[in-house]
Structures are given as structure tokens and as C-alpha cells.
Amino acid sequence: MITTPNVLEAIRQHGADAYPEEGCGFLLGTVTDDGDNRVTTLHRAANRRAENRERRYELTADDYREADAAAHEQELDVVGTYHSHPDHPARPSETDLAEATFPGFTYVIVSIHDGAPEDLTAWSLAPDRSSFQQEDIILPDLKRI
Amino acid sequence: MPTTEATTVTIRIPTPLRSATDGASTVEVEGTTVNDALRTLVDRYPELKDNLYNEDDELRQFVNIYVGDDDIRFGDGVETPLEGGDEVSIVPSIAGG
């Protein structure tokens, strides 16, 4: 994932705002000629889970369509999603893998501890859907984190 | 296949699946039902199949299909009929822990 410090900060902020529940939303941007996702902005969304929002999140098809429309207005595409893990590490859970959607999306996870953002990681689903692979987070003109 | 005139519809491809459609964001196929159109699509672009269909050859749980603004789950499902010029969208719903 190629992105900016502002995008990373906005993801962390949403995770902190949603704490102790999981916050979630969409990553908007473009796909580079190399197939990497370049994330330029966020589209915040509500966690649609009816219960257990501290441990689960859901974005509906209508949420996706709304984000897709917002992306097109900015001549962008939906290239991924993000969600927070309250008091849990920033790596995909078994549920994240079981319910994963398409390879090709970037899945960002931010860990929130006691309301404060900590680690932020990016992942992609393997083409055979068997596992998540960690993506580098590349900030052009800055160091790779 | 229908024996009467062909019904050409446009299928919108979500961004992460465009690597399987040679980069195309929309694909025109012929089909008189949603099922016809999607089967034609995956026949043309076989890499799409595992992303849209599960081991039982049914649409994956998170794959939602819209015809225009209408979710086919509230219509006739994959047997929802299509008319020429319809726009069929593949829309993921997303969940996790």
C-alpha cells in the first residue's frame, strides 16, 4: 500500500473515536501499473453489526455502493477497507480470514489500546484465499514503515 | 441459451477483480437472467470464478448482485430476468473481527 501520513492518521483517529467498539470504513485511491494500491483518502462508515461491535464489524453492500459513488466523484476507486482491533493486536483474526472478501483489496488494521492508537498494519488476501500476507506501507519521500 | 434476440447487459467489475478482466471496469455480456450473465462472465474470465463462487458453485456469501439499484436477493435471486441495457453490479459486503 502506498499512502500518506494523513491517511494513516485518519485511520488511527477513527479507531480511537470508535473505541471500545471497532471502527471501519473504506480506502479510496487508485491502482498503480504494478498492481499496488495507492490510498489517497478514506470513506468512514458505520459498524453495522447489531451486537458485539467490540469484537466484530460489518460493512453492508449499500455501504460499499455509497463509498464507490463517493470514490467516483473524486475519480477514485474503492481499493480496500480498514477496521480497528480494540485491545487486540493489529493482525488479521481468524474471523477476518473466514469472512475475507476479494484478493486485491488492501485490508488495514489498527490496534487501539485503552483508547489510544498503536500499531497499524496492511494486509492482502492470498489469491487462493488461504491466508493474509502483510503489505509494506510505503510513504513516498518518507521511510518505509 | 435463449433462442430469441440476444440481451446484452453491462456488468460492473469491482476494482480488486479487474486484474482478472484485463483491467476492464465493465464487461458486456449476453444473458437473459443474472445467472446467465454471470456464468458467461466467468467463462470468459475464468480467474473470476473462485472469487465469485464457492465450492458448492453458489455465489459466495459476501457477493451481492444488483441490477440497477435493486439487490437481486429481494427479487428472484440469480434467476432475476434481465433486459437489454441493464447494468449488473458485483458488490461485496465486508465483515470481520
The pLDDT assigned to B8 comes to 97
- Dump pLDDT digits (tens) for A98-109: 999 999 999 999
- Non-local (6+) Cβ contacts of A89 within 8 A are A111, A119
| Average pLDDT of the residues in A6-15 | 98
Best to test chain B binding among A102, A125, A129 (most B CBs inside 10 Å): A102
B8-92 placed in CATH 3.10.20.30: yes
Task: Establish if B14 touches chain A: CB-CB under 8 angstroms.
Answer: yes
The pLDDT assigned to B3 comes to 47
Q: How far is residue B95's CA from residue B97's CA, in Å, rounded to a whole number?
A: 7
Domains and CATH numbers, chain A: 5-135 (3.40.140.10)
Chain A partners within 8 Å of B17 (Cβ): 102, 104
Q: Is the pLDDT of residue A142 over 80?
A: no
- What are the angstrom distances between the C-alpha of A124 and each of A43, A51, A63? 19, 27, 21
| Average pLDDT of the residues in A12-20 | 98
> How many CA atoms does the CB half-sphere of B36 hold within 13 Å?
18
Is A81 in Cβ contact with B97 (below 8 Å)? Answer: no
The residue ranges of every structural domain in chain B are: 8-92
- Dump pLDDT digits (tens) for A47-99: 999 999 999 999 999 999 999 999 999 999 999 999 999 999 999 999 999 99
Q: Which three cell numbers stand for residue B29?
A: 455480456
- Nearest CA to A108 out of A144, A137, A88 is that of A137
- Nearest CA to B86 out of B73, B63, B67 is that of B67
Q: How far is residue A94's CA from residue A98's CA, in Å, rounded to a whole number?
A: 6
The pLDDT assigned to A43 comes to 98
> What is the mean pLDDT of each successive set of 10 residues along chain B, which is 97 residues long?
72 95 96 97 97 95 97 96 97 96
Chain B partners within 8 Å of A125 (Cβ): none
Q: How far is CA A139 from the centre of its chain?
A: 16
| Average pLDDT of the residues in A104-123 | 98
The pLDDT assigned to B6 comes to 75
Please give the full DSSP string across A82-121, using - where no structure is assigned.
EEEEETS-SS--HHHHHT---BTBEEEEEEEETTEEEEEE
Best to test chain A binding among B15, B52, B64 (most A CBs inside 10 Å): B15
Is B19 in Cβ contact with A99 (below 8 Å)? Answer: no
CB atoms within 10 A of CB A82: 29
- Non-local (6+) Cβ contacts of A98 within 8 A are none
- What are the angstrom distances between the C-alpha of A145 and each of A122, A135, B5, B17? 11, 10, 57, 27
Q: Is the pLDDT of residue A144 over 80?
A: no
Q: Is the pLDDT of residue A33 over 80?
A: yes
